[in-house]
Amino acid sequence: MKPWLKSMKKTTIRRAFLAYFVFMFAWLVVPPMFEVINRVEPWVVGMPFVVFMIAAISFLVCLGLVLLFEIERMRGELQ
């Protein structure tokens, strides 16, 4: 584990990830941001753009949760 990651405060890490999750969900629930992605073109991997973005953001949030868990595990913060 990187020293800077080990030395960071527990709350700092959790808040940083929370900011990441909020930013990701903002693309889907803040109307002006959602309107940017709410369109059919361009098609990506066989999906309309908005459907692809829903899938991609969902994947990135899942990835974030796994990463947060692993960081907490490596720092020995799980009971």
**78 Cβ contact partners less than 8 Å away, ≥ 6 residues apart:** 72
**CB of 7 vs another protein, minimal distance in Å:** 11
Residues engaged in binding another protein (CB under 8 A): 1, 6, 14, 18, 21, 25, 28-32, 34-35, 38-40, 43, 46-48, 50-51, 54-55, 58-59, 61-62, 65-66, 68-69, 72-79
**CB of 50 vs another protein, minimal distance in Å:** 6
**CB of 56 vs another protein, minimal distance in Å:** 11
Residue type, 31: P
The DSSP 8-state label assigned to residue 43 in this structure reads P
